[in-house]
Structure 1
Amino acid sequence: MGNIESGELLWDNTFEPARGGADFYRDDDVFRDDYYRNQDWDAERTPPARTPARTAPPSPAPPPVAKERDKEKESVAGEELRTSEPATPAQVAAADEIVSEAAETAQEQIPTGEAGTTVTNELNISKSQKTNQVAPESTSKSADVATTVVMKESRRHSRLRDLPFALLFIFHMLLVAAGILFLNVVYLRDITQTKLHNLIRWFPQLGAAIATGGLFALICQALFRSYPTFMVRSILWASSILTFGAALMLISTSVPANLGVGILCLIFSICQSLYACWVTSRIKYAADLLVFSLNTAKKVQGTYWISTWVLAVAAVWVVFWSFGVVSALTFELAPLVVLALLVSLAWTLETLRNVVCTYTARGVAAIYMTNAAHSHWDRSLLSAFTSWFGSICLGSLIVPILHVLRVVARGLNRIHGENEFMFSCADCFLKVTDSFTKYANNWAYVQVAVHGKGFLQASRDTFNLFKAKRLDIITEKDLTSSFCVLSGISGGMLCVLVSGGWTFGTHKALTSSVSVVSFFIGYFLVRITMAVPQGAVCAHYVCYCEESASPELAGPVPERLKELLADSDAEMA
């Protein structure tokens, strides 16, 4: 109510808080009497009963503003903002997920219709009352910086990196699928007793290898998750023992082809035993780091379930791939066709393994950088098959080749003897392979997932980061990749014992052929589940280089780095 003649409308104090308390409006007798006198009242229209004037208690006086104190706080806050370090790209990338999740949650909670309008009005009204509030001092400055660039990071992560290699991988998959279908059609169109006999001699054994490899992969994953220290110490010798058993089986067939493969397995078993003795001093640190990293990986939502589903997809593809191997045996160029199929299988399953590795690295890095579990597992998995997929395909193609060349170079460098020419060649070969590591390494998958970089750029940046932080002396002696490889070898040799032993009892001459194919099936299936510990350890190293002061990264790395640096300085002195 207000002065009608003057046309002034007096509003509730929600809009004008300086006029009084709640539900306050002016109700002066003068204004009301003027209104009554200017009206024509009759029997039908009587003046309303005069109600006592409602007055509200006076509004509390605003607290005195401590100007000096505010100025001091502003100066301190400005000084802290100037001296504070900007948020690292890893913090920005991790905050991207959290900020986007909070925005989605807020959008879901806003009602629609009239209720939504009311809520919006109330928010707009209360905004003016909250503008002068002082932000709490505990607010993270890095989160503020990350929020300002979250849209830029989101756009960068949505870009498709290394797209030609993703298209090449898809084309390769379509070509292989079409080739296998063609082989099957040709094989089944004019099936004979010989072809049927060949199918019986091969496919059941390969099916047994797929089942054995998949089951061993799940068991190995569960054991590493529950008993990592025990598995680190046992897998070194388990691999050697299984390889030795496969060698004895192949040698006992007395078939020349089987005998040659058996001797190679025997030599390989001896090399594994020597390697297990050589790395004994490094096992404790590797076990501690693996325990620390896997405890963090357990917090990542859906990690082990996703690795299991990827393993199932890989097993289905291997079953389809096995039909192509059996069908190719009837062609004149069967060895070349089977070799091409093995190369295709290696690239396909290695790509699936690195999808799991990249996803795990992203989740573990988010926990290290934000101290909160990474909840957008579906978004990260989608990014692994879209934005990061080209980089993953490129890394899966070139990194295994470089690793094989590097192992060969290191072996030649140790057995060159006193021959100067061999020493020069081996040393040159080792330096060349080491230089290639700068452009392609397993550590790059972390920066591919966290920063959205291309694979080659991520490899160079990670390599330079390790060099700058002097962490390369640790990564050069890291045993995590060795444990994963030895686990794959154990699975492959177990498949050799199962499938090769079956073939040894039925068709002795085919034992070596079935054993070789079964080994690759078991090896690559086990490597898929072992991508979880490898991705967790890779993320730990990269995040430690970027945020070495973070309490979440207070693992065994700092102490190990001090020990190795002290030993290095002592050797130089």
Structure 2
Amino acid sequence: MSSDSDFASFPSVHDSDRHQIDGGIDTSSSSSPAAVAAAIESRRLWRDVFWLCVFVLHLLAIGFVLGLLGLNRFKKPDRLNIDRFTNITTVVGGDRFLTETYWPLYGAAGGIGAALAVAWLILLGSRAEQMMKVSVHSLTTYLAVISVLCFWGKFFFWGVAFAVGAGLQFMYVMSVIDRIPFTMLVLQKAVKMVWDLPEVMQVSYVSLLIMLCWMVLWSFGVAGVIALNMQDGGSWWLLVVFSVSLFWTGAVVCNTVHVIVSGMVFLVLIHGGRRAESMPPKPLVKSLRYAVTTSFGSICYGSLFTAAIRTLRWEIRGVRSKIGNNECLLCCVDFLFHLVETLVRFFNKYAYVQIAVNGKGFNHSARDAWELFQSTGIEALVAYDCSGAVLLMGAILGGLITGTCTGVWTWFRSNDKVLMVGCTSTLMGMILVGLALVVVESAVTSIYICYAEDPSLIQRWDDQFFYQMSESLHQRLQYRSARARHVMVNSRFDQMSSEIIQTPPI
């Protein structure tokens, strides 16, 4: 059987109840593999082409501007005479503020971030659980320490910002502490799956190299911005624009890896293992080709929104679970919660599995994935799992370590630029470490999609894990049912009490 048909022949236990994962194509056993493969191939059109064009044009424009700004102060104070467009200030010894003054600092940031990412990948098979636990329990402390350092350096705004971040992180961890055992179980199985796929590790290393190449140009331009004779307000605005561009680019690279890994994991689960005789040859090439061609526009589109919406959803869920009986605050948080849940329906990370398998557009894939979860009840298990938040904590911790190391070095060279260099270096570190972590997140999302579509896929791959997931799902559904009954009883009691109070005496 060809690899195309393997991507198409997704088994299902819900054929009589709803459309298949590919959006209505008949994948029942009565259809021949060739017919199913042809149907899937016909659907693999170029999706979300507008966002693909926007991303490519954005890369060209940003790359040109970065090169221009970096070259402007490379070896000369104002090589391209750009200072005439800025708010010029007279600087004594202006040759000191050149691109190469700050570029080595960003080189160090890239090196530290890449070293942390490679270390995480190397320790993936033996120490991944310990590293994830350290990420969860150390991030609050690290944020608090940075807050103290900011106050000591008289950066009061940033000191308050990091203190608030430490407080929010502590509140979130406390609100989900009971979910950590199940989360670690899922992450352990995802790590096991990734470790058995050497091709996935190769993709991760290559993506790190590609991202480092882009960061060379990015840091060259940003170093030129910091050296520019411009008021700090103007420099900060330019840094914000370039940071948003870097974040989007990093998210696109991460999600491209996500789609490739999802395709690989999908095949492993369908065939019952990497070494199964039925596994098609060169599945990595097939996944890679789809990810960087027909599905790339959908990846660019989803990368703009998914990260922000996921983070907001985690925070709102954590706050919502700890509000108590404050009805006014609960009403406001519930409004935000339902708003974010609506957005999640159209922007969620599970869409990338659908994109990898079926090549649909991003919104279509996200909607199908969410409806699949809700129709099978798996959404209760997905909402209980915190693996995405745990991996994000690891990326943030790696970014903070990178930013701190670079910021300390900057303090001894040019202490008035510590915040600019430190903040942008933190973003660089987060993206590089995130590239290492995305392979695990891809495995987690693929496990949930496959379990929702056909639980026997997970049972065939790991029987014990299947029963652990089934038991957890049963407990979550019982908990939701009991909570719903409790809410209904309380609402009826309140209604009866109000009727008794309003009834006039006879």
Quickly name the TM-score band, shorter chain normalised.
Answer: 0.7 to 0.9
Q: Which residue number corresponds to residue 441 of structure 2?
A: 534
Q: Which residue number corresponds to residue 205 of structure 2?
A: 308
Check conservation: 2:120, 2:128, Cα contact below 8 A: no
Q: CA deviation at 1:313?
A: 0.9
Q: Which residue number corresponds to residue 156 of structure 1?
A: 43
- Worse-matched range after superposition: 516-525 or 287-296: 287-296
Q: Which residue number corresponds to residue 68 of structure 2?
A: 182
Q: CA deviation at 1:415?
A: 8.6
Q: CA deviation at 1:296?
A: 2.2
Q: CA deviation at 1:432?
A: 1.1
Please give the per-residue CA displacement for 1:221-242, whole angstroms capped at 9, x wherever unaligned.
3333323332332221132233
Alignment of 1:211 with 2:111, yes or no, is yes
3-state SS, counterpart of residue 149 of structure 1: helix
The 2-side partners of 1:84 and 1:179 are apart by 53
The one-letter amino acid paired with 1:386 is: T
Counterparts in 2 of 1:426 and 1:287: CA distance versus 1, 3 Å: closer
The one-letter amino acid paired with 2:471 is: E
Alignment of 1:191 with 2:102, yes or no, is no
Counterparts in 2 of 1:195 and 1:393: CA distance versus 1, 3 Å: farther
Check conservation: 1:353, 1:531, Cα contact below 8 A: yes
Please give the per-residue CA displacement for 1:489-520, whole angstroms capped at 9, x wherever unaligned.
11111012201111223333222222211111
Q: Alignment partner for residue 169 of structure 1, among 55, 65, 70?
A: 55
TM-score by length of 1: 0.71
Rg larger in 1 or in 2?
Answer: 1
Q: Which residue number corresponds to residue 236 of structure 1?
A: 136
Consecutive unaligned residues in structure 2, runs of 5 or more: 1-12, 79-92, 486-506
Q: What aligned pairs does 1:320-339 form with structure 2 within 5 A after superposition?
A: 320-329=217-226, 330=228, 331=230, 333-339=234-240
Q: CA deviation at 1:421?
A: 5.9
Q: CA deviation at 1:412?
A: 6.9
3-state SS, counterpart of residue 46 of structure 2: coil
Alignment of 1:564 with 2:462, yes or no, is no
RMSD: 3.0
Q: Alignment partner for residue 428 of structure 1, among 335, 339, 346?
A: 335
The one-letter amino acid paired with 2:152 is: S
Q: Alignment partner for residue 250 of structure 2, among 349, 354, 364?
A: 349
The 2-side partners of 1:497 and 1:84 are apart by 51
The one-letter amino acid paired with 2:461 is: E
- Worse-matched range after superposition: 233-242 or 471-480: 233-242
Q: Alignment partner for residue 222 of structure 1, among 97, 104, 122?
A: 122
Please give the per-residue CA displacement for 1:310-368, whole angstroms capped at 9, x wherever unaligned.
01110121121011112223145322211110010000001000111111111111111
Q: CA deviation at 1:572?
A: 3.5
The 2-side partners of 1:368 and 1:413 are apart by 35
Q: CA deviation at 1:201?
A: 4.6
Counterparts in 2 of 1:421 and 1:182: CA distance versus 1, 3 Å: same
Consecutive unaligned residues in structure 1, runs of 5 or more: 1-82, 97-140
Matched positions, count: 441
Q: Which residue number corresponds to residue 459 of structure 1?
A: 366
The one-letter amino acid paired with 1:563 is: Q
Q: What aligned pairs does 1:488-567 form with structure 2 within 5 A after superposition?
A: 488-550=395-457, 551-552=460-461, 554=463, 555=465, 556-567=468-479
Check conservation: 1:544, 1:553, Cα contact below 8 A: no
3-state SS, counterpart of residue 224 of structure 1: coil
Check conservation: 1:232, 1:283, Cα contact below 8 A: no
The 2-side partners of 1:296 and 1:190 are apart by 52
3-state SS, counterpart of residue 124 of structure 2: helix
Q: Which residue number corresponds to residue 369 of structure 1?
A: 270
- Worse-matched range after superposition: 522-531 or 202-211: 202-211
The one-letter amino acid paired with 1:490 is: L
Please give the per-residue CA displacement for 1:377-434, whole angstroms capped at 9, x wherever unaligned.
1221121111211111111012123235435655775798988665544332222111
The 1-side partners of 2:342 and 2:443 are apart by 25
3-state SS, counterpart of residue 97 of structure 2: helix
Counterparts in 2 of 1:503 and 1:451: CA distance versus 1, 3 Å: same
Q: CA deviation at 1:167?
A: 1.2
3-state SS, counterpart of residue 453 of structure 1: coil
Counterparts in 2 of 1:412 and 1:230: CA distance versus 1, 3 Å: closer
Counterparts in 2 of 1:336 and 1:416: CA distance versus 1, 3 Å: farther
3-state SS, counterpart of residue 161 of structure 1: coil
Counterparts in 2 of 1:559 and 1:421: CA distance versus 1, 3 Å: closer
Q: Which residue number corresponds to residue 132 of structure 1?
A: none
Check conservation: 1:246, 1:496, Cα contact below 8 A: no
The 2-side partners of 1:201 and 1:348 are apart by 26
The 2-side partners of 1:509 and 1:184 are apart by 20
The 1-side partners of 2:268 and 2:125 are apart by 18
Alignment of 1:295 with 2:207, yes or no, is no
Please give the per-residue CA displacement for 1:48-83, whole angstroms capped at 9, x wherever unaligned.
xxxxxxxxxxxxxxxxxxxxxxxxxxxxxxxxxxx9
Alignment of 1:285 with 2:190, yes or no, is no
The 1-side partners of 2:266 and 2:179 are apart by 25
TM-score by length of 2: 0.80
The 2-side partners of 1:172 and 1:91 are apart by 32
Q: CA deviation at 1:372?
A: 4.8
The 2-side partners of 1:172 and 1:561 are apart by 43
Counterparts in 2 of 1:336 and 1:436: CA distance versus 1, 3 Å: same
The one-letter amino acid paired with 1:207 is: G
The 1-side partners of 2:446 and 2:273 are apart by 15
Counterparts in 2 of 1:91 and 1:440: CA distance versus 1, 3 Å: closer
- Worse-matched range after superposition: 455-464 or 227-236: 227-236
